[in-house]
Amino acid sequence: MKKSFWVWVLALGVVIVAMGFGWMWPVKLTGFLALFALWMGWWDKRKNDLQWYAMGFCLGPFIDIVGVYGGSWQYGAPFVIGIPLWLPFAYGLSGLLLRRLSEGWIGRK
């Protein structure tokens, strides 16, 4: 059974707050984001979740790396190749959350 659209809006809010306050502790934030994604997969498993997570995990940081090396922006606490340790996990989780939000929004009509 699919969870409510508003549950995923709340989950997105939790992730945004965690990133806003947790960026200073990159290992803890990375662990939180990874565990949150695992929890999502356990609590509301959907077909092709791994592909959605992997797409965000790979493509998001790649685009950020291009922007960092192009001089568009920089991160306050880069870990490797100009991006923070937690960034791929945040993009992977955003892939899952965006999928659930879009499916929830379409299902509301």
Q: Where do the structural domains in the chain lie, given as residue ranges? A: 5-107
Tell me the percentage of the chain whose pLDDT exceeds 70. 95
Helix (H, G, I), strand (E, B) or coil at 45: coil
CA 87, chain centre distance (Å): 8
Going 107 to 60 to 55 to 43, the CA torsion angle's sign is negative
For residue range 36-59, what is the model confidence (pLDDT) as tens digits? Answer: 999 998 998 889 999 999 999 999
Token readout for 4 is: 């409510």
Q: Which letter does DSSP use for residue 39 in this model?
A: H
* Single pTM value for the model: 0.87
- Reported residue count of the chain is 109
